[in-house]
Chain A
Amino acid sequence: MSTDPKPAARRADKILAEEFFLARSKILDLAATLDRLERGQGSVDELQQRLLLQQGMEILLDDQSDKARRVQLLMSRPYDPDWRKNYGLH
């Protein structure tokens, strides 16, 4: 049994300085995608995928933590604990 602790956390201001340009470019990509959707013919406003993107962006902006896991769960099919019974498996 190893007793390795979790690695120590880095300073937040250092992370921000290192990752600012990468995050900036990802926001721009997302912004350009939304512009492209708007310029496209027809509307996607009511489509499920568009709604998922909207809800995902709302997770990014809310004041709660654990954002990556919450975005993942948003984009996931739900789990039914009774799945075995539904499939007739024992």
Chain B
Amino acid sequence: MDYIDPHIHMVSRTTDDYETLARMGCIAMSEPAFWAGFDRGSVESFRDYFRQLTEFEPKRAAQFGIQHYTWLCINAKEAENVSLSREVIAMIPEFLSASNVLGIGEIGLNKNTKNESTIFLEHVDLAVRYGQQILIHTPHLEDKYQGTKMIVDMLVHDTRVDRSRVLVDHVEEHTIQEVLDQGFWAGMTLYPVTKCTPARAADMIERFGPERLMANSAGDWGPSKPTAIPDLIMELKRRGHSRQLIRKIVCENPCEFFSQSKNFKAPSALS
């Protein structure tokens, strides 16, 4: 089945992975800017990283017939460095006209600190001023519940934010309800150990229904599996769910959400 991975970090993946994803049905993907596995030292590092995301990765993906989109920001881990963060935020507009940029992301919180919150708010302001969509990273493990509530609080507080243009990622059983109730889109991240398994993601689809809900693999530097969405498709099929329901989660929802960005072109397989 054709699918879209709305959150996958291909800079940490080999070209062989692109080929495998294409063979498994991946037709489009979006790659939010994130941590590089180490803290970067200067704004120029980020400039090169944004060139990689807007110039190099789309070409690598295109070799396998996959559309590659991206989101720009300085991630929450590095946002603890406020002065560097502000330099990066000031530089982002240079890249907003690149043809594969969908918006600002993945912004969010990591350890839910004051500095992270300050930089989160400045990213939201940037997105609003430039009419950009937003992709959100919520913290992991014991920080997720608190951090997700703080993020929702900040977004709801800013009346300029159009919630239908915001995707809140890494939701789990204790955060999904509030995110959906507040009118945001929600993404479940399928991860071998610390996040959500395909079976638990299928449970959330059964409990909350398919509206404004999608799934992603993250596929990052940690122990992650870039082919996790096909695993979810198999789990949903095994449970007897309709092709229509599965397609809504893995194809139509990402497509509908991304279509709010002028740079997104629906893959021809979907039109």
Contact = CB atoms under 8 A, between A and B. Distances in A.
Interface string B171-194: 011100000000000000000000
B241 interface: yes
B121 interface: yes
Contacts of A69: 173-174
Nearest to B238: A18
Nearest to A69: B173
A7 B240 CA distance: 10
A interface, by DSSP: helix, strand, loop or mixed? loop
Contact of B145 (A9, A76, A89): A76
A2 B145 contact: no
Interface in A5-54: 5-7, 9-10
Contacts of A4: 209-211, 244-245, 248
A1 to B, nearest CB: 9
A7 B203 CA distance: 10
Contacts, number: 66
B209 A72 contact: no
Nearest to A80: B146
A6 B143 CA distance: 30
A68 B206 CA distance: 14
Contacts of B146: 76-80
B211 A89 contact: no
B148 to A, nearest CB: 9
Nearest to B150: A83
A16 B81 CA distance: 50
B interface, by DSSP: helix, strand, loop or mixed? helix
A6 B172 CA distance: 18
A84 B151 CA distance: 11
Interface residues of A, number: 23
Interface in B104-138: 112, 114, 117-118, 121
Contact of B172 (A9, A72, A77, A81): A72
Interface in A50-90: 68-69, 72-73, 75-81, 83-84, 87-89
The 4 residue pairs across chains A and B that have the minimum distance between CB atoms: A76-B145, A72-B174, A69-B173, A79-B149
8 contacts: A2-B211, A4-B210, A6-B206, A7-B206, A72-B173, A76-B144, A77-B142, A87-B114
